[in-house]
Copies of this chain bind each other. A is one copy, B any other.
């Protein structure tokens, strides 16, 4: 496999690298001068993948952290940080907006670069941590000290491979591998291919402990990568079991493939709507497709709530003896959400057995027969039972029942979604659903193999 060809496509050119470094330098230098001029005690650092030279082409956002001494009051840090950020943005004619991580920061667009300007505390190790962002400077420092330029290229290959096989990104939508996690894997295994060769044999709870802290016993996660800058943190904590497993299998698929190059490029797919509708038709499943307005909320809150809502609905349907075959959810991340439930069977007979108390609990049996009438009760094994009309014979009727103000509490619905579901949901059909989502639903394995 000739990785140079791939790197040619995915690595920023020398010119791009030079330009971004120059821009970073300009920003840092302005901020440093401002600090000196105004007597602000803050150290300015370029962090993130740009600083580490592990940014993929076209993903070169500039992250600049302003690190204040631990003695500074949190409000002062916040206000001084935002002041510096806006001053810097204005100086370079940026288009600034506020964001919130563990504390507020500024994102600004300067000459087509997206620049994050983030105030934080200057710490020396994880034990001093005041907020999650404080670690970033330590991470950048550790990676720069332990990653050669050649290894940085291997990180690019690994990130790109994961990105194209669907396991890259620690945001909740994906639940995959963070960039820092990729860097640590390359530091551990030396190269992209070695990483994949080892990953083939990973078991649940695989441990990577670069600094031999011996703290892995604290964690019960699929992959445990002790943070070299914080022995009590698992860098793999956000990695879901599914994405861990998918990466293992994608590594096997890649290493066994004659078609390796394809793993570094977007999946070639046929998104013809008629083909997709035909495939659904062939499965012979009843579908429940629910569309509702997306509330105004961050994506890292939206996806966990969509997942929890859908899964809770699925549990309820199965509880009622409807047989859910598979399910999925989707959002355009702007205005609408879709929940798709594919039923192995969605119709039931009209009768159900209401299981009452054990016959040996005489008082409970007395109450049961008083409620339902002695003549309607009978024995099933050693329970007193009662046959009654089944409330919901069709799965879709049960969903309609749940999606009302009175009954939405039956499911664990994401709190931001609740009102929007009740007020705006409608049942729709496949023709009105995003074809890429449907194609992935029909072919859940297509990303990890070429």
Q: Enumerate chain A interface residues (CB-CB to B < 8 A).
A: 200-204, 222, 241-242, 244-246, 248-249, 252-253, 256, 282-286, 321, 323, 325, 342-345, 347-352, 359-360, 362, 365-366, 369, 374-384, 393, 444-446, 448-449
Contact = CB atoms under 8 A, between A and B. Distances in A.
Q: Give the 8 A-B residue pairs with the shortest CB-CB distance, closest first.
A: A378-B445, A285-B349, A284-B350, A245-B359, A245-B382, A345-B345, A284-B349, A203-B360
A393 B323 contact: no
A417 to B, nearest CB: 24
A246 to B, nearest CB: 5
A445 B379 contact: yes
B362 A282 contact: no
A384 B245 CA distance: 9
Given A222-B382, A345-B345, A378-B445, 17 more contacts: A241-B381, A245-B382, A245-B384, A248-B360, A249-B377, A253-B374, A283-B351, A284-B349, A285-B349, A325-B351, A344-B348, A345-B347, A375-B445, A375-B446, A377-B445, A379-B444, A379-B448
Contacts of A449: 374-375, 377
28 contacts: A201-B362, A204-B360, A241-B381, A241-B382, A242-B380, A244-B382, A245-B381, A245-B382, A246-B379, A248-B359, A249-B377, A283-B349, A283-B350, A284-B393, A323-B323, A323-B348, A325-B349, A342-B349, A343-B349, A344-B348, A344-B352, A345-B349, A347-B347, A377-B445, A378-B444, A379-B444, A379-B448, A380-B444
Contacts of A285: 349-351
Contact of A374 (B256, B351, B381): B256
A365 B253 CA distance: 11
Contacts of A375: 445-446, 449
A356 B384 CA distance: 41
A158 B57 CA distance: 90
Nearest to A360: B203
A345 B348 contact: yes
Contacts of A350: 282-285
A381 B200 CA distance: 17
Contact of A344 (B349, B376, B445): B349
Contacts of A245: 359, 379, 381-384
A321 B345 CA distance: 9
Nearest to A284: B350
B362 A252 contact: yes
A255 to B, nearest CB: 11
Given A256-B374, A323-B321, A362-B200, A379 B349 contact: no
Contacts of A377: 249, 445, 449
Contact of A249 (B200, B246, B359): B359
A437 to B, nearest CB: 16
A252 B382 contact: no
Contacts of A286: 349
Contact of A381 (B242, B365, B382): B242
A270 to B, nearest CB: 14
A376 B249 contact: no
Nearest to A366: B252
Contacts of A446: 375
Contact of A321 (B248, B344, B362, B384): B344
Contacts of A248: 359-360
A365 B202 contact: no
Given A343-B349, A344-B348, A449-B375, A365 B283 contact: no
A241 B375 CA distance: 21
A347 B343 CA distance: 11
Contacts of A241: 381-382
Nearest to A203: B360
A321 B323 CA distance: 8
A364 to B, nearest CB: 12
B249 A384 contact: yes
A359 B199 CA distance: 11
A175 to B, nearest CB: 12
Contacts of A252: 362, 365-366, 369
